[in-house]
Amino acid sequence: MQKIFTLLFILLIVLSCETNDTGNTADKDSFMRLYGGSFLDEGHKVLQTQDGGYLLAGSMADENELSDMYLLKTNSTGDIAWHVTLGDSLNDYAFSFSLSDDQSVLVAGTTTLVGSNKTNALAAKVSGTGNVLWERNYGSSNNEQIKDVIGTSDGGYMLAGYTNAAGQHDIFLLKISATGDSLWSKTYGGSELDEAYAICHSHNGGYVLFGTSESFIEPGQASANMLALEVNENGVPIDRSTFGGELNDLGQAVFKTTNGYIFTGTTNSFGAGESDIFVVKTSTNIHDIEWSKAFGGTETETGNSVVQQADGNFTIAGKTDSYGNGSNDVYLIILSDQGNMIMEKTYGSTGSEWANFLTQTSDGGFIFTGATSHAENSMITLIKVDKDLEQH
């Protein structure tokens, strides 16, 4: 299913910001853009490109509420340079992408198979000018879901997610070549639900997968826990570690830091509210927890993305129902390298807004994507703020 149009809406709603920081506002560019039609659209990842613009991947739905993978290239202020849709006649979702030095893109996600209603991994290679080079499905008679992808040192790609091959969800890792050939795949897990939502390069030349496990429970833990799984370059397991307490704790994002890893997600075990953002910092040894903290108010918060800043601090992006204006608002937190809060800010209207992914930009600010929802409609958001999280 291919769409031939994209509607760009600029500041159709007024977003407000609230902060408890009293620092100075830096002189940085900022903007907010909305992309989509009158159905259900959502952004899942954004990165800055070599020309100072941005590349965004997500999904865009039609009048039948069927979604396509959506890849969008903008200039430095969010104006559309080109866009492509990918997928077939059923639901297809882009959850992540890997950007190569030549600015070509490997988009990864999930496709629904025609005639079976099962899902497979879907990957597509797109040139830096928006030309689709190839598109392939991967999987079996089971359901596969791909949530993240990274490039590998040999020019290929590693796709991470989960499959229900054993009756319950198991972590799924797929290695493909630069031209899209499937090289190998592996599953990991126990007798219960195990899912990967993120992957990063490890400090040992392999990979760290991060997500949620109901199979692996340590003393003092119960139900679902955050799971960090380290594998070598061939996918052979090296180590695993779980983070959590006696209730559900769900892993969402990982970032390889200069001296270890930082993980984020959502906790029901710790914090002040029904659920809170949970952040765990480890050394290069995933068992060596340097600190772990929960952030949020009396309602619900979720952590969806984390990045280490150039100054060594950390920025977390997600959503909050405790603060802000609507039922949900975008929630950004800046933490010191010791996990102490430096700044927090919300962005939203009277509807529901959330951030799925955030990264730091070359000017020291941040760009993030997600969605804004009103009634039965949601649109892709692309928001640029300065280093103090200000829009001006």
Q: What does the pLDDT look like over 107-147, one tens digit per residue?
A: 999 998 877 778 899 999 999 999 999 999 998 778 899 99
Global pTM? 0.91
Cα angle 299-300-302, degrees, rounded to a multiple of 5: 155
Contact indicator for 369, 45 with CB cutoff of 8 Å = yes
Q: Encoding tokens for residue 191?
A: 């007798």
Return d(Cα 349, Cα 169) in angstroms, integer. 36
Window from 7-11, 28-32, 230-234 with minimum mean pLDDT: 7-11
The identity of residue 189, as a single letter, is G
Listed in sequence order, the residues at least 6 apart from 384 whose beta carbon sits closer than 8 Å to its beta carbon are 29, 30, 31, 32, 78, 361, 365, 366, 367, 391
Look at residues 5, 124, 32 and name the one whose alpha carbon lies nearest to residue 380.
Answer: 32
Distances, alpha carbon 261 to alpha carbons 47, 78, 298, in Å = 20, 31, 28
16, exposed or middle or buried, with CB in 10 Å at 0-12, 13-18, 19+?
Answer: middle
Highest mean pLDDT among 109-118, 143-152, 160-169, 370-379: 143-152
Return d(Cα 80, Cα 82) in angstroms, integer. 6
Question: Which residue has tokens 């941040």?
Answer: 366
Q: Residue 377 — pLDDT band, cuts 50, 70, 90?
A: confident
Return d(Cα 279, Cα 261) in angstroms, integer. 11
Cα angle 33-37-41, degrees, rounded to a multiple of 5: 75
Return d(Cα 57, Cα 59) in angstroms, integer. 7
Contact indicator for 380, 56 with CB cutoff of 8 Å = yes
pLDDT for position 89: 67
Whether the per-residue pLDDT at 5 is higher than 50: the answer is no
Residue 382's DSSP bridge partners are 33, 369
Q: Residue 166 — pLDDT band, cuts 50, 70, 90?
A: low
- In this structure, what are the phi and psi dihedrals at residue 298, rounded to the nearest 5 degrees? -85, -10
Q: Encoding tokens for residue 185?
A: 């795949």
pLDDT for position 261: 98
Q: Say how many Å lie between the first and final Cα of the chain, rounded.
A: 39
258-269 residues labelled b (16+ CB within 10 A) or e (exposed): eebbbbbbbbbb
Count of CB atoms within 10 A of residue 238's CB? 14
pLDDT for position 360: 98
Q: Residue 167 — pLDDT band, cuts 50, 70, 90?
A: low
Q: How many residues does the chain have?
A: 392
Count of CB atoms within 10 A of residue 139's CB? 23
The identity of residue 115, as a single letter, is G
Whether the per-residue pLDDT at 46 is higher than 50: the answer is yes
Q: Encoding tokens for residue 86?
A: 């990918």
25, exposed or middle or buried, with CB in 10 Å at 0-12, 13-18, 19+?
Answer: middle
309: which DSSP letter? Answer: -
